[in-house]
């Protein structure tokens, strides 16, 4: 319902292709008054890399577009069609596309939940020289993410993904932490985890946050009481919640 409301209220471009692949599309919710320049929040959905889609991702848009922030929901080819290397590449390419296509973007904020937080974390370790652009990523909100894929190799999640150990290692944010470049030092990373997330999720969030911090990134760890893996992201669409607070700070940080 939140997505439908967002589509009704905002100036919206749906299914914008950033590549030729079937899943390579973006839903873009422009701010109510896109006067020249605006910050953009890029939302990457979860679903264990094999379900959900960008179509359920518009819920975060209304409180932000009303404050002058564009919201982009990223589509990518989920498994079994998509494999892990391809999904990581798609999400990186979607950002390169946004920067090239919309000159009004001033500052990108990433947000991902679960598998989406994994993909957002992989974006943080991108070598952008290969893409010919340098997205100005000012912040990342990583919610109940997976940062080490190896434990997944032996679970049902890997039935659809079919990852080898090598694929899991090269796509594990824990193993790809790059020293914060001068630009990245200004990027605020918020690693959020729910009190009732599984011990493995909680452990990974803590360790990934510490690894980023050790590499010079600016990191806050947020442990949210009384929430579980799923309702933590629903909370994000509520006015008073973290994302909207980040949203309130956005215009002032431009």
Residue linked to tokens 């973007």: 105
- 229 included as an active-site residue: yes
- 33 included as an active-site residue: no
- 114 included as an active-site residue: yes
CB 227 within 8 A of CB 175: no
Q: Exactly one of 45, 57, 113, 114 is catalytic; which is it?
A: 114
Tokens representing residue 61 in the block: 């848009």
Q: Exactly one of 27, 57, 94, 197 is catalytic; which is it?
A: 197
The runs of H, that is alpha helices, within the chain are 2-9, 61-65, 84-101, 115-124, 157-161, 165-170, 182-185, 199-214, 231-234, 242-253
Q: Exactly one of 9, 53, 55, 229 is catalytic; which is it?
A: 229
236 vs 144: CA distance, rounded Å: 12
Q: What are the catalytic residues? A: 114, 197, 229
């Amino acid at each position: 319902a939140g997505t439908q409301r967002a589509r009704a209220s905002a100036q919206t471009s749906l299914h914008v292709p950033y590549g030729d692949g079937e899943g390579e599309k973006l839903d873009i919710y422009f701010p109510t008054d896109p006067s020249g320049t605006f910050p953009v929040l890029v939302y990457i959905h979860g679903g264990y890399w094999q379900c959900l889609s960008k179509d359920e991702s518009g819920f975060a848009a209304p409180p932000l577009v009303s404050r002058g922030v564009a919201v982009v929901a990223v589509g990518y080819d989920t498994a079994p069609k998509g494999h892990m290397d391809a999904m990581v590449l798609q999400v990186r390419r979607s950002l390169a596309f946004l920067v090239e296509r919309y000159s009004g973007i001033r500052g990108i904020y990433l947000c991902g939940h679960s598998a989406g937080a994994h993909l957002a974390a992989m974006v943080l370790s991108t070598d952008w020289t290969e893409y010919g652009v340098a997205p100005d990523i000012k912040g990342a909100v990583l919610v109940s993410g997976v940062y080490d894929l190896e434990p997944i190799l032996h679970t049902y999640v890997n039935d659809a993904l079919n990852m080898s150990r090598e694929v899991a290692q090269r796509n594990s944010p824990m193993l790809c932490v790059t020293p914060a470049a001068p630009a990245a030092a200004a990027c605020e990373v918020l690693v959020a985890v729910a009190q009732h997330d599984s011990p493995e999720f909680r452990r990974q969030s803590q360790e990934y946050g510490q690894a980023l911090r050790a590499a010079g990134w600016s990191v806050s760890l947020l442990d949210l009481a009384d929430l579980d893996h799923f309702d933590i992201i629903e909370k994000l669409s509520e006015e008073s919640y973290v994302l909207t607070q980040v949203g309130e700070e956005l215009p002032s940080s431009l």
